[in-house]
Structure 1
Amino acid sequence: MLTDQTGVNAFTREQLLANIAMIITVALWGVSFVSIKIAVNEVPPITMALVRFSVASAILWVIIRKFEPSAKLQKKDVPRMLFAGCLGVTLYFFFENTGVKLTTASNASLIVTIIPILAIAMDKIFFRTKVSAIQLLGIGIAILGTYLAATANGEVDFTSATFRGNIFMVLAMFSWSLYTLINKSFHNKYSGLALTAYQMMMGTLCLIPLSFFEHAEWRLFSLTVLCHILFLSVLCSVVCYLLYMHALKKLDVTITTVYLNLVPVIGVVSGHLFLSENVLPIQMVGGLITLLAILMVNFEKYASRGFMVGQHSCSAGNKPGKKF
């Protein structure tokens, strides 16, 4: 029977609420691929991202002025913050929205799993971070899994729209991984909320000129698509982020990692249920291989550091592919 003396590992009410927050977050992030697929079939990819993040940026601006009014952006950080916003919002969502338009929501959600592995690999390349043998093995396994998930039949076919969409998704993952590395220098200067708010606003501004390249496709979109875009803006880009920040403060990082690995599973299931998408067995195997690699790398990483509940901090760099 649990008592107040059980210690930091007791399943407290706060931890229960944090677990519920993670369940809601991964469920909505998983389903978000379906909403993106529906929206980009009617609204051009960049334009859709612009509408989505204009709404989300406005909401986050109100939140940060209310709860962190002293969070000021230093002038010397503006260039790097702008570059990060371009990578994490402008480029990432251009690649992702275009990728989802060409491929399936299920394929897109499977490919998103490679973000943690790419982040480790790029950390090694750019920052000379020490990588263990287990992590190297995990990177190799993840590359194999991603190849299977992206090619389906093991063949590279650039004439296939689905394959090109998968490549766009891989490019999106590279963009986000670089974004997380750039954010390393900001972690001790800005809160996760401030980072996300400022970078989202800057990335949204960069989307404005790019959206004019799609002006020939501009038209009024349906109420259904508007609802999907608002779902992505309000719930996926704002509410889920706030829930995720709360969970990171209460749960061990290995627990949140396991939860995040459920996003592609939910993405595949929702793609099948709502869009009648089919996923080839070899793609499922590829996705499972990548998930195995991520679990192996993360458990080895955090077990070696001896992480305990509440010992990690929340930052923008901790978020997954569907962090906004």
Structure 2
Amino acid sequence: MQKQFLYGILLFVMMAWGLNIVAIKILVQNFPPFTITGLRILAAGLVIFVFLYVKKDLQKMNPHEFGYVALSALTGILGHQALLSIGLVNTSATNGASILALIPLVTNLLAVLFLKARMTFLKICGVLFGMIGIYFILVLGGGSFTELSNGDLFVFLSVIAQALSFIFIRKASYTLNPKTITCYALLMGAGFLVMLSFAVEGQSIHQIGAAPSYVWWVFIASAIISTGIGNLCYNFAISQLGAGETAIFLNLSPFFSLVGSVLFLNEAFKWIQLVGFILIVIGVLLGTELFERKPRVERQVGVSVSK
């Protein structure tokens, strides 16, 4: 298959994932955040389940594999999505997208702690660039640390939760294929979120039917296109190009989020924030060692359950 076609697929996925941050911002402004997030993830999980079931491409899980997938669902779906939804209620989509750009970098740092990955000079430089980029966006672009919203903190905590889930996904990937992990993690995580929504938002679930019709179209696009089809297309590209080459495209997702925030949410944009975003991207490229030649290719998981 021609690389140009695969690059086009990846560009579509990054645009869908980037604009999904804008979609989530709209959804949490119109619905109880836990409830709508649970429904969105459930819809995406069902789309992937039906697709893989028809193709007979789902693996059975043993108790050991089930445990790792369940932990990835607790951290990557329940933890990440719940914290992200709360965060986007109280901060801008621009800030949220920029902080989310740190996920690959934080994942690599946790891999050093839990998977005995190497801490190299490039990774240290990546951490420094990432920290400086966040300073440019949240402090120089927003005012001061005392003016940072709680939303920024929740989004950053969602980054840590997502990075932790990748550690569990890595453990599960030794015997399960990425598509199976993605499908079951989404379905388990949706179940956790629905239970949380009944416990926390039970009195406000009636608000679901009060949203304008266009918001439901945003919900459908977010669940089916961004989360469901987006994950399937990304995993397909992984199988054709490899994890290393496709990972480079992940840095485009926050860019589309920034553009979408300005165009669709009329959020203020400062050039200093663009400088900060560029520094974060440089930090991610350094921290994930994409510039470093490796003596062997390790099996990596092309799974994203955060969009």
* TM-score normalized with structure 1 length: 0.86
Distance in 2, matches of 1:138 and 1:114, equals 10
**Aligned residues: percent identity?**
20
Residue 88 of structure 1 corresponds to: 76
State whether structure 2 residue 110 is matched by structure 1 residue 122. yes
- Cα deviations by residue, 1:261-305 (Å, 9 ceiling, x for unpaired): 11111111111111111123332222111111112334x446321
Counterpart pick for 2:160 among 162, 174, 181: 174
Shift of 1:312: 6.8
CA RMSD of aligned residues (A): 2.1
Match of 2:45 in 1: 57
Partner of 2:184: 198
User: Equivalences for 1:1-324 in 2 at 5 Å?
Assistant: 13-68=1-56, 71-151=59-139, 152-153=141-142, 155-157=144-146, 163-212=149-198, 213-218=200-205, 219=207, 220=209, 221-251=211-241, 253-298=243-288, 300-301=289-290, 303-305=292-294, 315-317=301-303, 319=304, 323-324=306-307
Q: CA separation of 1:113/1:125 partners in 2, compared to 1, >3 Å: closer, same or farther?
A: same
Change (3 A) 1:105 1:190: same
2:70 & 2:237 partners in 1: Cα distance? 28
Q: Does the Cα contact within 8 Å between 1:248 and 1:313 map onto a contact in 2? A: no
The count of aligned residue pairs is 302
Q: What secondary structure sits across from 1:242 in the alignment?
A: helix
Match for residue 5 of structure 1? none
Q: Name the CA distance, whole Å, in 1 between partners of 2:253 and 2:226.
A: 12
Aligned equivalents of 2:32, 2:228: Cα separation in 1: 22
In 2: Cα distance, 1:90 partner to 1:305 partner = 35
| CA distance in 2 between partners of 1:208 and 1:86 (Å) | 13
| Contact kept in structure 2, 1:248 and 1:314, CA below 8 Å | no
2:135 is paired with a residue whose SS is helix
Higher alpha-carbon Rg: 1
User: In 2, Cα distance between the equivalents of 1:96 and 1:323?
Assistant: 9
Q: Is the 8 A contact 1:26 1:260 kept in 2?
A: yes
Is the CA contact (8 Å cut-off) linking 2:101 and 2:280 kept in structure 1? yes
1:108 positional shift: 1.1
- 36-45 or 255-264: bigger deviation: 255-264
Please say if residues 39 and 194 of structure 2, whose CA atoms lie closer than 8 Å, have aligned partners that are also in contact: no
**1:25, 1:240 within 8 Å by CA — same for their partners in 2?**
yes
* Cα pair distance change 1:248/1:69, threshold 3 Å: closer
C-alpha distance in 2, partners of 1:186/1:193? Answer: 12
* CA distance in structure 2 between the aligned counterparts of 1:301 and 1:26, rounded to whole angstroms: 18
State the distance in 1 between where 2:50 and 2:189 align: 17
Structure 1: tracts of 5 or more residues without a match = 1-12
SS across alignment from 1:261: helix
Q: What amino acid is aligned across from residue 259 of structure 2 in structure 1? A: V
- How big is the shift at 1:252? 5.5
Q: C-alpha deviations, 1:210-238, integer Å up to 9, x for none? A: 10211232211322111111111100111
Does structure 2 conserve the Cα–Cα contact (< 8 Å) formed by 1:49 and 1:93?
A: yes
CA contact (8 A) 2:137 2:272 kept: yes
How far apart are the structure 2 equivalents of 1:153 and 1:97?
21
Would the alpha carbon gap of residues 301 and 27 (structure 1) be closer, same or farther in structure 2, given more than 3 Å must change? closer
